[in-house]
Amino acid sequence: MSVIEEKAQEFSQAAELIVKVKEEVQSFIVGQEEVIDQVLWSMFACGHVLLEGLPGLGKTMLIKTISECLDLKFSRIQFTPDIMPSDITGTMLLQPDDKGKQSFIFHEGPLFANMVLADEINRATPKTQSALLEAMGEKTVTIMGETKIMAKPFFVLATQNPIDMEGTYPLPEAQTDRFICKVDVNYPTKAELKEIVKRTTGASERSLEKVASVDDVVFLQKLAKEILISEDLIEYAVDLISSTHPGASDAPEIVKQYVQYGSGPRGLQSLISMAKSRALCLGRYHVSVGDLKQTVKAVLRHRLLLNFEAEANGMTTDMIIDRLIEEVGALNK
């Protein structure tokens, strides 16, 4: 078998595995197909996810379900104003040995897992929120000068409530930028509500099947990086990101009017990685313009800082991104 044939077989097997994972998740989670897709794209792109939605929409259940299907070590951290950095990272404790001699032993915190659910992350103080920065960015934690390496793979999936803002600490831009995307969890339809009731209030219980393993996830992450992308598409992605800056000469009028700060280089990296991951999940070996357009909203919605005029006129980041997709048409000329 040639190298090309081996690669083709790998991509084919990967696409089949991803379909099985998605089907198993959807057998337990009602609706939210777009949310499931975006979370899986993010994971295979080695990224962290910020989920925002009203209470009771199943954000926690979705994350736990995905971790079970992928057989990942799961950990849940309920953020509150009194939680300390050591409560999530772990700490050094004095522990005696058999001879009575005491030494410092590191006790891991809940952050040392494959998939970490940071529930209501905006309820933690900035000091505790910042404890996640090193883990999310460098995949390490430093305790008393000693660096600990996180598990592989490592994902932080954080949730926040968009309406109950009392007693919360908004995430700083430096931290939100660490998330590869922000996923909006929408309210279910009437048909989905009916199905939710049937599944959750009946006597029957369904157990999830582990359809993949930790090694499979690492393999899919590696394969996603091998997805090809043309120079034209890279230039198109660069145009999309640069057009988010109001000071740019080619920025659309809507950006100059309503955007205070645009996306940085990490936004471009996230967009390319997400597009590659989406292509992999759809069984393709290369990125299409559709991959970029379908992922740009999730990638940029938390990276654009709007001004007061935008807030006064009811403008949202999603509205501005939709206009960017229409106006930045380098590939359509």
Residue spans per domain, the chain = 1-81+114-200+211-226, 227-333
- DSSP-based three-state secondary structure for 31: coil
Out of 3.90.45.10, 3.40.462.10, 3.40.50.300, 3.40.50.2300, select the CATH number for domain 1-81+114-200+211-226.
3.40.50.300
- DSSP-based three-state secondary structure for 287: coil
Helices 289-300 and 33-44, packing angle to 10 deg: 100
- Fold type of domain 227-333: Helicase, Ruva Protein; domain 3 (1.10.8)
| Count of Cβ atoms closer than 10 Å to residue 264 Cβ | 14
d(CA 204, CA 191): 20
Please list the residues that pair with 296 across neighbouring strands: none
Nearest by Cα to 269 from 240, 232, 294 = 240
Q: What is the pLDDT along the chain (333 residues), one digit of tens a residue?
A: 666 667 777 777 888 888 888 888 887 777 778 888 888 899 899 889 888 877 776 778 888 888 888 888 888 888 888 888 888 887 767 677 667 677 767 777 788 888 888 888 888 788 887 777 778 877 888 777 777 788 888 888 888 877 665 656 777 777 788 889 888 887 777 777 777 777 777 666 667 778 888 888 888 889 889 888 989 999 999 989 988 888 877 788 888 888 888 888 889 999 999 999 999 888 888 898 989 999 999 999 888 888 888 888 888 888 888 888 888 864 444
HSE value, Cβ hemisphere, 13 Å, CA-based, for 27: 15
